[in-house]
Amino acid sequence: MRVVAVTGATGFVGGETLDQLLDAGFAVRALARRAQPERAGVTWVAGALDDPAALDDLVRGADVVLHIAGVVNAPDRAGFEAGNGQGTAHVIAAMGQAGVKRLVHVSSFAARNPQLSDYCWSKHLAEEKVRASGLDWTILRPPAVYGPRDTEFIEVMKVARHGLMPVPPTGRASLIHVRDLARVLVSLCGEAGAAYAGQTWEVDDGAPNGLSHIELAAAFGRALNRRVIPLPLPQGLLMLFARGDRLVRGPRAKLTKDRVRYMCHPDWVIDPAKRPPANFWQPRISADEGLAEVAASLVN
């Protein structure tokens, strides 16, 4: 039985991927900060990315390491570097110690624009460490990931139910449903995935040129069965909101200046030339289908 060592298995993407790995017959070792309920096919390893002993236990004897864990929000560059750059370096070091060669690394579109924000810089830094590792790596860059267990999309949809949807001032973006993303990750963990070592892929739902913010608001409206009007907010106003969030919630702020710069970038559309080969993986869930599923999961 093929053994996959997984970081980030308790998160949104990791949880769906864990389910699919088990369904596909893999044995899983999964890193977790907190105690987890017992589950057939899963060996939980207590620890975090800054715990070398835990990472040694995680990867020892694994056929593949699937590195999903990362930091999407931090108060400063050091926080992003610790979670994304140093965390990835620690995983690579543990693999070298254990003699494990195959790494599937979940990155982000953000890595394409390291100059844009600290988050983008840290994801680019992590990719650089992977490419320099000497491992048999494949890097996957997903765009905005959503699904019925995604708290951020659900919060936006709760606002959109009232007929308005705040959006960045301009731009287009690609989307991918979490189940489609998990499918490609599981496929890369199989023996056939090893053929794609050394490649960097960008994955989406197949929509040509993604969606504009106006089109996304319309898609939310179709999912909610009501008209949703996009409300473009200038970057300067969003920065003011970010300052207020920092004053109220301090380092736990969700809307940071770093995140505003990321949100307001005009082009988060994948490069079609970097999609996986069609005979290896293709998306199955359109934005309309996926957003309808999210809308159906809303709790008043």
- Give the pLDDT confidence of 160-185 residue by residue, as tens digits: 999 988 888 889 999 999 999 999 99
The answer, yes or no, to whether residue 299 has pLDDT greater than 70, is no
The domain of 86 spans 3-146+174-207+270-283
Q: Judge whether 153 lies within some domain.
A: no
Which range is least confidently modeled, 84-93, 197-206, 225-234? 225-234
Confidence of residue 15 (pLDDT cuts 50, 70, 90): very high
Q: Judge whether 163 lies within some domain.
A: no
Q: Judge whether 55 lies within some domain.
A: yes
Confidence of residue 151 (pLDDT cuts 50, 70, 90): confident
Number of domains in the chain: 1
The whole-number pLDDT of residue 39 equals: 96
The answer, yes or no, to whether residue 249 has pLDDT greater than 60, is yes
The whole-number pLDDT of residue 182 equals: 98
CA separation for the pair 190, 183 (Å, rounded): 11
Confidence of residue 254 (pLDDT cuts 50, 70, 90): low
User: Where is pLDDT greater, at 191 or 243?
Assistant: 191
Q: Judge whether 157 lies within some domain.
A: no
Q: Judge whether 165 lies within some domain.
A: no
The answer, yes or no, to whether residue 300 has pLDDT greater than 60, is no
The whole-number pLDDT of residue 258 equals: 65
Q: Judge whether 166 lies within some domain.
A: no
Which amino acid is it at 60?
R
CA separation for the pair 251, 74 (Å, rounded): 7
State the helix-helix crossing angle for 213-224 and 287-296, rounded to 10 degrees.
50
CATH classification at residue 12: 3.40.50.720
**Average pLDDT, integer, range 143-147:** 94
CA separation for the pair 37, 216 (Å, rounded): 38
* Number of neighbouring beta carbons within 10 Å of residue 227: 10
- Give the pLDDT confidence of 79-126 residue by residue, as tens digits: 999 999 999 999 999 999 999 999 999 999 889 999 988 999 999 999
Which range is least confidently modeled, 21-25, 36-40, 152-156? 152-156
**Tokens at residue 234, please?**
């200038």
The whole-number pLDDT of residue 73 equals: 83
* Number of neighbouring beta carbons within 10 Å of residue 150: 20
Classified as helix, coil or strand, 173 is strand
